[in-house]
Amino acid sequence: MRALVGRLRLRLRPGTAGKAVLTGLLNGVAVLAVCAAALDHTVWAFVLGGVVLGATAVGLRHRPRSLRHLGSWGAARTLTAVAAVVLVARSDLPEWTVLIGATLAAIVATEPSGARLWRAAGRPVLNLPGFDLDRPYVRSGGLVVAASVALIALTAFGTLWTPVAAVAAVGTAVDTAVIAAWTLHAVRDRSRLGDAVATALEDYAPQVMLYLSGPAGTEYQLRTWLEHIDAVDRRHVVVVREAPLAQAVARLTDAPVVAAGTLQELDRVQVPSLRVALYVNNGAKNSHNVRYRDLVHVQLLHGDSDKPSSFNPVAAMFDAIFVAGQAGVDRYALHGIAIPASKFRIVGRPQVQDIARAAGDRREHVLYAPTWTGFHADNSFGSLAHGTLLVGELLAAGWTVTFRPHPYSIADAASRQHIADVHAMLDADTARTGRAHVYGEAASALDLVESFNASDALVADVSSVPADYLFSEKPFVLARMGTADDATFLAEFPLARAAYVAHADDRAEVAAAVARLKVDDMAGVRAELRRYYLGDFPVEGYGQVFVDAVRDLVDAPRDDGHEATDDDELEAHAFEAELADDEV
């Protein structure tokens, strides 16, 4: 049952069910608006139609010009336009105004079909020198929707005042002409977009491809690597399989970002200069790019931990697997996954190079950084549901708390409530004691390394957070979930040997673990496991190990390899189906 729930969670992304319900409600309201207009209940027709148009306008408030809005709530807007046509037909306006209103309804009705064309021709190609294809519709999706809202409203209000009907008619004519012109533009651009991207990429001549696929919000996985890829000092391009994700990535980097949603589009970005492809997650679509054997494919992942995502069997398909330390190698064998040792390369974890080492015995500030619930039950290690218990014990022990939940947590309704409960607890403690806890926007303003450096200790879950924190050699509590016995837990998560471990829902265990933070007697174990998990490299120049490893691959003599074939494409489709439930 837990596995089934995990799979359902993967398929129903946060917000999907809510959007479906809202769409159904708006469609129902729009149908009622048509009925009200047909039955000559003019006031109700205006009220119900206004609800639909108002909801649509509110939906445009985030990135209002984006193509993602095009076609949104198209059925509800079409029905509302029909209601306006019925109002016009029942009024004393000239018959030609009915035709104008019907034209507007037809435009709105065909918007979803046009949206597919516009999005195909307008897929994100950002920061790429030499790419100068003028695509005016790319930043106009929201404007088209806003125009339809305004014109439907004007058409309806034209039944009350004739000059408004004239404005609506002129507006509809202009709207029709602009949309038709942009659509013809998109038809032309779609046929030449692939060539334009390929030509610009060939001229730019990137040697490294950063490859990313995933749901909304996945850009954080790439963000952890961007500055370190920049340090490699080789031209690179970011290839993203989902257009909205590509837009988000482009806000993080000045490097070229190209969306390649289809296999054909992916094929066109495989320019001769590319030498190495780097991957930051276990996305199912990784298999599409691994087909190109003239590249060296390297799995980096975006965090190094004892979670299942860090020993996924699909890693075997890559040419190389970069891991932070020997722990990253051993965890595959520990879980029965046979991968040749020659594929692994220990490169440290450059993200931790700026983490300050423990200095002195100060025990005042603690960071509580719980992970999220995960897509799957077997990857759900978050303690946030017990956050008030954990934070309550920290407050009772006199700690000043920085609370930093995983960014994905905000997308889950239950997690949002848990976060609010912790915030309320910290609010109350600040009012009572004056302690300057850090949470909410103040915590979000700090990056994770800044949060580490401001802390004297950590409370975290099974995730990459405590593994990174090892670099500081400061003490930490590992909040464990589940009912596994201690021996099994330690075998599954060897990092726990360096932690004060407590079941997150056991107040006595939590209190005991928190107390041990101040009398810390595990410094030696942490130092040993730091080398095991993060590599036995000097602190000075630690981040350069990864940079040199990537450079070595880029600059190595090139093998002939082979290009992807039709058989590879069939295999890619089959592999994607097999991996559809894999951890991102």
Backbone angles phi, psi at 233, to 5 degrees: 60, 45
Contact 302, 225 (CB under 8 A): yes
- Between 30 and 67, where is the model more confident? 30
List, in order, residues 6 or more apart from 488 with CB less than 8 Å away. Answer: none
Range among 1-10, 302-311, 332-341, 370-379 rated most confident: 332-341
Q: How far apart are CA 356 and CA 474, in angstroms?
A: 10
The structure tokens 């942009």 sit at 182
Q: How far apart are CA 149 and CA 55, in angstroms?
A: 10
Model pLDDT, residue 330: 94
182-193: average pLDDT: 91
How big is the chain, counted in residues?
A: 584
Range of the structural domain that residue 451 is part of? 365-534
* Phi-psi map region of 239: left, alpha, beta (phi>0 left; psi -120 to 50 alpha): beta
Backbone angles phi, psi at 83, to 5 degrees: -60, -40
The answer to whether position 159 is within a domain reads: yes
Q: pLDDT band at 563, cuts 50/70/90? A: low
Q: At what angle do helices 74-89 and 42-59 cross, to 10 degrees?
A: 150
The answer to whether position 84 is within a domain reads: yes
3-state secondary structure of 496: helix
| Mean pLDDT, rounded, of the chain | 89
Residues 157 and 232 in one domain: no
- Count of alpha carbons within 13 Å of 501, Cβ hemisphere only? 16
pLDDT digits (tens, 9 = 90+) for 410-443: 878 889 999 999 999 999 999 999 999 999 999 9
575 pLDDT higher than 70: no
Residues 341 and 411 in one domain: no
Model pLDDT, residue 159: 93
Q: pLDDT band at 374, cuts 50/70/90? A: low
Range among 88-97, 380-389, 551-560 rated most confident: 88-97
Question: CA angle, corner 65, sides to 64 and 68, nearest 5?
Answer: 85
Residues linked to residue 409 through DSSP beta bridges, in sequence order: none
105 pLDDT higher than 80: yes
Model pLDDT, residue 407: 80
209-231: average pLDDT: 95
What is the domain count for the chain? 3
Residues 173 and 261 in one domain: no
Residues 406 and 439 in one domain: yes
Q: Lay out the sheet containing 344-346: strands in order across.
A: 125-126, 257-259, 236-240, 208-212, 276-279, 296-299, 320-323, 344-346
Residues 338 and 293 in one domain: yes
Of 369-383, 485-499, 527-541, the one with minimum mean pLDDT is 369-383
307 closest CA partner among 279, 281, 286, 341: 281
308 closest CA partner among 18, 536, 583: 583
Q: What CATH number should be reported for the domain holding residue 279? A: 3.40.50
The answer to whether position 8 is within a domain reads: no
Model pLDDT, residue 559: 66
Q: In the chain, pLDDT over 90 holds for what percent of residues?
A: 73
Model pLDDT, residue 578: 42
Residues 50 and 177 in one domain: yes
What single-letter DSSP state applies at residue 357? P
Q: pLDDT band at 313, cuts 50/70/90? A: very high
Residues 152 and 261 in one domain: no
Q: How far apart are CA 343 and CA 329, in angstroms?
A: 10
Residues 187 and 313 in one domain: no
384 closest CA partner among 408, 365, 361: 408
The answer to whether position 7 is within a domain reads: no
Residues 96 and 234 in one domain: no
Model pLDDT, residue 579: 41
214-240: average pLDDT: 95
The answer to whether position 6 is within a domain reads: no
The answer to whether position 13 is within a domain reads: no
Q: Can you read off the two tokens belonging to residue 483?
A: 């009912």
Q: pLDDT band at 353, cuts 50/70/90? A: very high
Residues 179 and 222 in one domain: no
Of 93-107, 400-414, 418-432, the one with minimum mean pLDDT is 400-414
DSSP 117-165: HHHHHT--EES-TT-----GGGG-HHHHHHHHHHHHHHHHHTTT-HHHH
Q: Where are the beta strands (DSSP E) in 215-333?
A: 236-240, 257-259, 276-279, 296-299, 320-323
Backbone angles phi, psi at 529, to 5 degrees: -75, -25
539-549: average pLDDT: 96
Q: At what angle do helices 141-157 and 42-59 cross, to 10 degrees?
A: 170
- Between 280 and 191, where is the model more confident? 280
Contact 510, 393 (CB under 8 A): yes
Residues 449 and 568 in one domain: no
The answer to whether position 292 is within a domain reads: yes
3-state secondary structure of 65: coil
Model pLDDT, residue 560: 52
Residues 192 and 154 in one domain: yes
The answer to whether position 300 is within a domain reads: yes
Range among 9-18, 131-140, 511-520 rated most confident: 511-520
Q: What CATH number should be reported for the domain holding residue 496? A: 3.40.50.2000
Q: How far apart are CA 193 and CA 121, in angstroms?
A: 7
376 pLDDT higher than 50: no
Contact 207, 554 (CB under 8 A): yes
302 closest CA partner among 202, 406, 222: 222
Q: pLDDT band at 34, cuts 50/70/90? A: very high
